[in-house]
Structures are given as C-alpha cells and as structure tokens.
C-alpha cells in the first residue's frame, strides 16, 4: 500500500502541473487520494471591506492584519521546527466521497486490488458501510491536504480517508489533524512581516570612523497576525508576531557596532533612535562605525529583525511558537574623510 500511495501522490503533483493538457475525466481519475473532487486547491474571496480570505485545504486564512508592501516576507524559524507541510481536515460529506471515489474505481487506473480494498473499506463495512450515508449531517470524511509550495515532508500524510463525528476529536494517533494548535502552526507559515530596510544617518553615504545611527520606523514595525480557521468545525487560532530586536551585520570585519553585540533590543515600542541635530557627539544606541573605506564599491549592511510569535485559539488554548527572523541587505558607501591642505 505505501508504494501505491506514493505513486498516487506523484500523479497528484503531475495532475496539478499538467491539468490543462488532459480531458477533465482523465485528470479527475488520475488525482488519487490527494485529489480535490474537481475543485481548485486554493481560491480567494474578497469581502466588501477588501479583506481577502484564502481557502487552502479546508483552512481559511484571514490575512487582513498581516504585514504588507512589496518588501514584506515570511519569517524563518530560529529553530529546526517548521510549520506542517501537510495536514488533515474535513473534506467530504458521504455523498461527496462517493462521487469522488466511484469514478476512480470505474476507471481502473489504480489497479483492481487497490480498488477492491477501497470498496471494502468504504462500502462493505470494513470498517465503513456505504460511505457512512446513514451518518450524513453528523460528521465529515477527513483527508490530507498539502502545502501548495510542496516543502519537505509534503507527502508524509498518507493516512487513508477517515470519518470523524461532529463534536469528536480526530484520532490522537493521526499527526497534524487540525486542532487549534495545528491551525496556529499553519497560520505561522502565512505570517508576512514588513521589509527590514533600516533608516540610516548619515543616509546612503557615511564617513570612516563616523558613527552611523540605525533605527526602524516604529509606525511600520508593529505586531502582525494571521488567523486560521475551519468553519465547519467552529475552531480557529491566531498567530501573532511582535518585533523584539534588530541584528546589524555591517558587511565587513572592519567595523564596530553599537551595541557591541550588534543586537538592538526593542525599547518603548521602537528599535534604535532617530538621529537629531545636536547628537553628533553622542554614541547611537543602535548603529555602526566603519573603520575602512568601501573604495569604489559599498558594504552590504544586513539588518535582521527577530519576531516573537505566540498564539491564541478556541477554548482558551494558546502558547508560544518558535521565534522567527526576517532580514534584508542594503548598500552603504563609506568614504574617507577628506583633509583640506592650505
């Protein structure tokens, strides 16, 4: 069976890529257990207020409080943990599962033995009878869904389609069956934070041995959040990311940072401090001092913001998720101070 499931998953990916080249019935029959009953894997709906909710694999994401702008991006976990690459959620009513599986069996593309085992499981009472039609309205058939980016592990959800009564928890031994915590982890993957281009003074071009002040616009660096929900189950979770620090990497060993660690902590809702007239003789709370000219080129200053991420969900659930980081580089030209000879 594992070999059969792996081949079916491969066919699924090929069907997604090549669906426009096949007649609809052929593509439908070849999707296998990770197919989508003729529906697209993702669609977007815009509300009257402009909020866009995207449905992916039975999970609805509200991104209206997410970071925006062309430079916004996803955070990277500071640990080896990664959000789920696949998960299980309600997908079919009894009638929908019948409409999905029967054409596959009739096409015979998955082999007589596999088709017979499927009929035995879902029709003949081992363990389900007649697609659980007698339970219509009292539960859902759950199936696996895949992150559309196909990250590592996308094919690890290989449990056969299973039934869950309304109000019951999914089987405890099935990893990544949606719960508030799993929804929070999926929301983590959807978080987008603002770009990390920092403000500099002097801007663009600085001088050797002259402290350069570095700060972030506090108006742009506020908490962002994404809410993930499964409406048919009435559960949801919100993952919130809050900026906590900025790490400066000057782009050359010939430089000092302020503070010496290069990590500027958030204080009073801001990271760093804007330069103002009269501060030329002060040491910036967040900054860099280049010790050597960049010559005809520039130094790639990298600024990386660390975001603390926590979640709250249905039933008062909640907790912390791994901190995430997001960074970017910008060019800094460093010139020698010109002496005037008289």
pLDDT in tens, 229-240: 999 999 999 999
Length of the chain: 342
pTM above 0.85, yes or no: no
pLDDT score recorded for residue 6: 41
Residue 208: CB atoms within 10 Å: 15
CA 158 to chain centre: 22
pLDDT single digits (tens) 48-64: 444 433 333 479 999 99
Q: CA–CA separation, 27 vs 19, rounded Å? A: 6
Task: List, in sequence order, the alpha helices (H) in the chain.
Answer: 2-18, 24-29, 94-107, 112-122, 180-190
Q: Per-residue confidence at 269, pLDDT binned at 50, 70, 90?
A: confident
Residue 338 has a pLDDT of 65
DSSP string, 238-291: EEEEEEEEEEEE-SSSSEEEESTTSEEEEETTEEB----TT-TTSPPSSEEEES
Which residues 6+ apart lie within 8 Å of 141 measured at CB?
A: 90, 91, 92, 93, 94, 96, 97, 131, 132, 161, 162, 163
How many Cα atoms occupy the beta-carbon half-sphere of 204 within 13 Å? 0
Q: What value does the mean pLDDT take over residues 80-97?
A: 95
Token digits of residue 219: 């108006």
Q: How many Å apart are CA 128 and CA 119, to the nearest integer? A: 9
Residues whose CB falls within 8 Å of the CB of residue 95, separated by 6 or more in sequence, listed in order: 131, 133, 136
Mean pLDDT of the chain: 84
Q: Are strands 205-207 and 318-335 parallel, antiparallel or unpaired?
A: parallel
Average pLDDT over residues 259-275: 93
CA distance linking residue 205 with residue 132, whole number of Å = 71
* Closest residue by Cα to residue 103 from 4, 183, 23, 198: 23
Contact call for residues 57 and 215 (beta carbons, < 8 A): no
In sequence order, the 6+-apart residues with CB closer than 8 A to the CB of 295 are: none
Q: Which residues contact 286 (CB under 8 A, 6 or more apart)?
A: 213, 214, 215, 246, 248, 258, 259, 264, 271, 272, 273
């Amino acid at each position: 069976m594992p070999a059969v499931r792996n081949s079916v998953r491969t066919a699924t990916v090929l069907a997604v890529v090549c669906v426009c080249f096949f007649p609809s019935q052929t593509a439908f029959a070849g999707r296998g257990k990770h197919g989508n009953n003729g529906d697209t894997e993702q669609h977007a709906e815009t509300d009257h207020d402009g909020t866009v909710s995207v449905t992916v694999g039975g999970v609805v994401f509200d991104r209206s409080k997410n970071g925006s702008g062309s430079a916004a991006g996803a955070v990277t976990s500071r640990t080896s943990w990664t959000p789920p690459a696949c998960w299980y959620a309600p997908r079919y009513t009894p009638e929908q599962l019948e409409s999905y599986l029967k054409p596959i069996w009739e096409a015979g593309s998955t082999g007589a033995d596999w088709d017979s085992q499927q009929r035995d499981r879902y029709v003949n009472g081992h363990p389900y009878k007649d697609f659980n039609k007698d339970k219509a309205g009292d539960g859902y058939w759950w199936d696996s869904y895949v992150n559309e980016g196909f990250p590592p592990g996308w094919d690890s959800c290989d449990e056969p389609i299973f039934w869950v009564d309304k109000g019951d928890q999914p089987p405890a031994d099935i990893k990544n069956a949606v719960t508030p915590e799993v929804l929070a982890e999926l929301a983590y993957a959807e978080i987008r934070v603002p770009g990390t281009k920092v403000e500099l003074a002097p801007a663009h071009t600085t001088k050797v041995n002259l402290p350069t002040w570095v700060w972030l616009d506090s108006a742009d660096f506020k908490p962002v959040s994404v809410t993930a929900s499964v409406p048919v189950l009435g559960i949801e979770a919100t993952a919130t990311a809050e900026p906590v620090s900025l790490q400066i990497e000057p782009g050359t060993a010939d430089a000092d940072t302020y503070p010496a660690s290069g990590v500027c902590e958030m204080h009073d809702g801001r990271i760093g401090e804007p330069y103002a007239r009269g501060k030329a003789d002060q040491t910036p709370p967040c900054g860099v001092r280049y010790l050597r000219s960049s010559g005809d080129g520039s130094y790639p200053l990298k600024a990386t913001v660390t975001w603390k991420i926590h979640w709250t969900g249905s039933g008062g659930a909640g907790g912390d998720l791994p901190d995430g980081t997001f960074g970017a580089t910008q060019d800094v030209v460093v010139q020698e101070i010109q002496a005037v000879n008289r």
